Amino acid sequence: MKIYNSISGDAICQEIDRKCGSSANTYPVKDKIARYHAALDRYLTLAFQADGRWNFDDINETSPPIDTQSIVSGTNRYKLSAFSETLLSLIRLEILNSAGTGLPLIPETMDDLTGAIYNQTGRISGSVSDTFQERYVNASSGTPTHYIKYGDFIYLRPNPDYSETDGLLAYFNRPAVKSEPVAVTIANGADADFTATAHGLVADDTFLLLSDGTLPTGTTADTVYYVIATVTADTFNASANKGGTTLTTSSAGSGVHSFIKLSSTPGIPVIHHPYLAKHASAPYLSEKTKPQLNSVLAEIQTDERAIQEYFAYRDKDVRKQFIPNVENTH
């Protein structure tokens, strides 16, 4: 299923309309997209919770979920948000030593740092050296072997006494690819050109226009447009219909304009695409007090159990182990 396909009707937005008895007028496409994104977030939660051995990753991603930061000599504190990727959860950290050899880092938690406990007469248990201050803030120098995550920071110990480009490697779970707005400029006049660097659209792709000001006259918000054949890497033209005439604008509009691509495919197993439509239908059905709400909620519960089971067993050998029948010879 694509996100939107008015021709075949086999798409998330069209399935939402079928579930809700709605249309683009009663349930705007922009609202459907927002709730489709919420459905993706819920799906990821189910996948991460159920899959204890393999991490989930969106099939639309073009690079593996591995990111790096450079190690700086004398610095043992690194921000998680400084990674270029968005890390939903950290699976594993590795570090390159001064020779460039990869080494696994052992994770620690605050519970591992027992520290020292005092009463009025002095220390009664623990060791001062086990405090966060002594293990990490006042860490000795060397090649790191351990790390602790605290807030948005990763602390290493020992404190690295060398620098290494891309020396800290994070393996992680990340969010699904969503249909995020892409900035676009729209020329004023006949056969209006749309310009967006490396926009990634091809002929017959569909998109939605947004603006924080006023869209050019001749275009409207929450209307699905089609890319027509005259498309380059950074520019394209559009039509209100597939294969139709090129849009003409009669004013430049105001503010920053953007588009959301609708003809992409969710990066999850295709058998779970209908779940996204059901999840995105529920808020509308609730708001409009539609009688089909309870049946859709029941379908969502059934689907969620199936999703959890799918990720609990995927890529695992679930065949029964063969145990030979050995006769007792004694």
Whether the CB-CB separation of 278 and 303 falls below 8 Å is answered with yes
Confidence label for 67 from pLDDT (cuts 50, 70 and 90): very high
Top pLDDT among 135 and 117 is at 135
Residue 221 vs residue 229, higher pLDDT: 221
- Per DSSP, 128 falls in state G
pLDDT higher than 70, residue 25: yes
**CB half-sphere exposure, 151, CA atoms < 13 A:** 5
Domain boundaries defined on the chain: 66-119+126-173
Q: How far apart are CA 296 and CA 35, in angstroms?
A: 15
Average pLDDT over residues 199-212: 94
| Range with lowest mean pLDDT among 128-132, 157-161, 297-301 | 128-132
Q: Using only C-alpha atoms, what is the Rg of the chain?
A: 27
pLDDT surpassing 80 at residue 123: no
Half-sphere exposure of 236 (CA within 13 A, CB side): 24
Nearest to 20 by CA among 300, 245, 207, 289: 289
pLDDT, position 48: 85
Q: What are phi and psi of 323, to 5 degrees?
A: -115, 115
What integer pLDDT is reported at residue 166 of this predicted model? 96
> Residue 58 pLDDT more than 80?
yes
> Can you tell me the mean pLDDT for 41-59?
82
Lowest-confidence pick of 130-139, 241-250, 308-317: 308-317
Q: How does the average pLDDT of the chain come out, rounded?
A: 89
pLDDT in tens, 177-192: 898 999 999 999 888 8
Q: Quick one: CA dihedral 138, 141, 147, 151, positive or negative?
A: positive
Can you tell me the mean pLDDT for 151-159?
95
Does residue 330 carry a pLDDT above 50?
no
The pLDDT value recorded for residue 125 is 58
pLDDT at 85 over 50: yes
Q: How far apart are CA 202 and CA 177, in angstroms?
A: 19
Contact 87, 172 (CB under 8 A): yes
pLDDT, position 32: 97
Q: In this predicted structure, which of 42-56, 76-90, 286-300, 305-319 has the lowest mean pLDDT?
A: 305-319
Token output for 103: 């080494």
For residue 147, the model assigns a pLDDT of 96
pLDDT in tens, 259-272: 999 999 999 999 99
Q: What percent of the chain is modeled with pLDDT above 90?
A: 68
Q: Please say if the pLDDT value at position 2 is more than 90.
A: yes
Amino acid at position 217, single letter? T
Q: How far is CA 1 from CA 63, 201, 262, 282, 316, in A?
A: 23, 18, 11, 19, 27
Q: What is the mean pLDDT of residues 82-89?
A: 87
> What are 75's two structure tokens?
């610095």
